[in-house]
Structure 1
């Protein structure tokens, strides 16, 4: 796992980075250890009107190292 700042993770833009940092997810290792669903749940709780389901897709794609359109179907 990487102690690199979350903003260095491919696919995590400045807005999402800010939300993640406010939610206490400051490193790539933080995101990897909790997973995309828990990270999304935290963001949705903190920013219910601003965070959409696209954030979940983006976080999962970042963890898998792919574009969100390349995620396998559920």
Structure 2
């Protein structure tokens, strides 16, 4: 079992972010530190979640033990450039072709009269 401060208890990391991090195997502060800010962010992104730059800054703030808004503009820029470079290396999304148009067929009254209902008693419609 992993020891250390749970991501649930880290500064800047809310319940949704903590859940995302847990789902990608980052359960403690030590796990986050070993991965690093950008790699932790990219693990969440590659897992199919839709993290924003706020998560990137929140992870950095958690590792620096400061509020994410206290991260310098220079460091934020470095993180964004690194994250954008990592995102550029991701394979393009696989798009599925759009499904064929859905058509709805409605039965006329005469057709529905001939069809038994689940609520009809046996022999009621003859």
Shorter chain as denominator, the TM-score bin is 0.7 to 0.9
Aligned residues: 72
Select the structure with the greater relative contact order (CA < 8 A; seq sep ≥ 6). 1
**Aligned residues: CA RMSD:** 1.4
Moved over 4 A (4+): none
Q: Structure 2: which 5+ runs fail to align?
A: 75-126
Residue 10 (structure 1) shift: 1.6
More helix by share: 1
Deviations 1:40-61 (A, max 9, x none): 011111134x211111011101
Is the CA contact (8 Å cut-off) linking 1:23 and 1:46 kept in structure 2? yes
Q: Structure 1: which 5+ runs fail to align?
A: none
Larger Rg: 2
Residue matched to 2:38? 37
Q: What is the TM-score with the length of structure 1 in the denominator?
A: 0.85
